[in-house]
């Protein structure tokens, strides 16, 4: 039987049944949606004839599918393989590599893993001013068909003392009690500093400190028992004050507390989670003071920076200094054709390297994240190692907030 016939048959058979419960729900054109944990009742159900395929044949089938479908939406076939049954899912997880290794975004956890070291992953952000929402899509530019794949979505919420961007895996659910909630970005009163919060526990073994201020409470029936009840502060973005009101681009300073500086050194590695925190089999225990009573689960945010084990220096990013173009009468950066409209929001970030750091000149000049405008409410976002899609998206969201004291 040919490979395409096999794939078509399991799609029509058990594949279609599994896809109804699959993590990749076609909800609001979302490409990335949470993995649905296998319940006890589902595990007791017969998995069908495809579960009995010889392991060598199964590995060969899924490997061929993974190698042939390298772009979306065709790469949905890889996700379909992982949705057939438990044995198919295990083999698929073994074959599919991280974005750092293959440069592909396949499963939801890919959004929390570092990008590739060589070529960046190209994305773009679409802003909806009416609803104060921001959508991150995979691709160079918006397609004519308008069927680009959604990676993440964020909603801006203005409060009395700050602004928050709630980040979700889908475009129509921004509740922090939902399993699609993956993190948030919160500003100070002036909009000059932003803290990035992640639901994913940091790989460095950090122990966050409870915030002394307000805590968000959800009824226990609204929160999955496997859902972590903590937000972890993984980084911050600061903008320098422009006291003299001089013309020029904003100056940014990013501290990525969850990424050690050694990750960009020769032979260094960045933390790479393997499971989304929402669906870890083992429970994640928050500090004792967080859970109070039987009826409510307290969801606290932790503004204190992460202190990795061994007091490892965090990665610090700074924006590249633009040059003044006399003919165009504007500040310019080389975005290599990815940015076409001048905007104060445009930026490129590179590692802030001190003379005593053992970093070569090519690595010092390497652009880790770039963001810029290409049209009305359309912005490109290109990121690479050691940032993840979630971290890059959070940094870019900080550029959308109003900053009158920085411009």
Classify residue 14 by its DSSP letter.
Answer: I
CA distance 306 to 202: 8
In 299-388, alpha helices (H): 361-365
What span, in angstroms and rounded, lies between the C-alpha atoms of 151 and 110? 10
Q: What does pLDDT average to over the chain?
A: 77
Q: Give the residue, 118 or 13, on which the prediction is more confident.
A: 118
Is it the case that residue 224 has pLDDT exceeding 80?
A: no
pTM for this entry: 0.80
- For residue 402, pLDDT over 80 is answered with no
Q: What is the mean pLDDT of residues 104-116?
A: 93
Percent of the chain with pLDDT over 70: 70
Distances (CA, A) of 199 to 26, 279, 349: 23, 11, 24
pLDDT digits (tens, 9 = 90+) for 344-400: 899 999 999 988 888 888 888 999 999 999 999 999 999 999 999 999 999 999 999
- For residue 83, the model assigns a pLDDT of 84
pLDDT confidence band for 285 (50 / 70 / 90): very low
Helix, strand, coil percentages (3-state) for the chain, rounded to 5, are 20, 25, 50
Can you give the pLDDT at residue 263?
Answer: 93
pLDDT, greater one: 204 or 16: 204
The 10 Å CB-count burial string (b at 16+, else e) for 356-370 is eeebeeebeebbbbb
Res 129: pLDDT: 94
Residue 323, token pair as written in the block: 């040059």
């Amino acid at each position: 039987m040919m490979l395409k016939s096999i794939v078509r048959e399991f799609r029509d058979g058990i594949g279609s049944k599994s896809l109804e419960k699959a993590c990749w729900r076609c909800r609001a054109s979302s490409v990335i949606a949470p993995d649905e944990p296998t319940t006890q009742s589902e595990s007791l159900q017969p998995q069908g004839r495809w579960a009995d395929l010889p392991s060598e044949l199964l590995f060969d089938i899924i490997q061929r599918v993974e190698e042939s479908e390298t772009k979306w939406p065709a790469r949905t076939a890889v996700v379909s393989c992982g949705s057939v049954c438990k044995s198919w899912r295990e083999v698929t997880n073994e074959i599919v590599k991280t974005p750092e290794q293959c440069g592909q975004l396949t499963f939801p956890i890919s959004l929390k893993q570092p990008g590739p070291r060589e070529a960046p992953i190209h994305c773009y952000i679409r802003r909806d001013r009416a609803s104060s929402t921001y959508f991150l899509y995979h691709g160079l530019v918006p397609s004519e068909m308008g069927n680009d794949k959604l990676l993440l979505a964020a909603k801006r919420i203005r409060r009395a003392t700050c602004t928050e961007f709630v980040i979700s895996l889908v475009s129509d659910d921004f509740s922090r009690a939902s399993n699609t909630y993956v993190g948030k970005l919160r500003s100070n009163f002036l909009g000059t500093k932003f803290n990035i919060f992640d639901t994913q526990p940091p790989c460095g073994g950090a122990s966050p400190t409870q915030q002394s201020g307000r805590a968000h409470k959800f009824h226990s029936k609204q929160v999955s028992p496997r859902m972590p009840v903590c937000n972890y502060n993984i980084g911050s973005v600061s903008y320098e004050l422009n006291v003299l009101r001089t013309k020029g681009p904003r100056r940014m300073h990013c501290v990525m507390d969850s990424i050690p500086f050694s990750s960009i050194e020769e032979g260094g590695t960045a933390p790479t989670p393997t499971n989304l925190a929402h669906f870890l089999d083992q429970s994640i225990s928050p500090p004792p003071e967080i859970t109070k009573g039987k009826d409510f689960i307290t969801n606290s945010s932790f503004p204190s920076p992460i202190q990795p084990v061994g007091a490892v220096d965090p990665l610090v990013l700074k924006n590249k200094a633009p040059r003044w173009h006399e003919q165009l009468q504007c500040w310019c950066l080389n975005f290599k054709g990815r940015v076409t409209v001048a905007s104060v929001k445009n930026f490129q970030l590179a590692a802030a390297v001190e003379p005593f750091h053992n970093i070569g000149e090519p690595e010092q000049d390497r652009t880790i994240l770039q963001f810029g405008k290409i049209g009305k409410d359309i912005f490109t976002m290109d990121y690479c190692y050691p940032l993840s899609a979630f971290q890059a998206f959070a940094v870019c969201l900080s550029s959308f907030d109003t900053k009158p004291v920085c411009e």
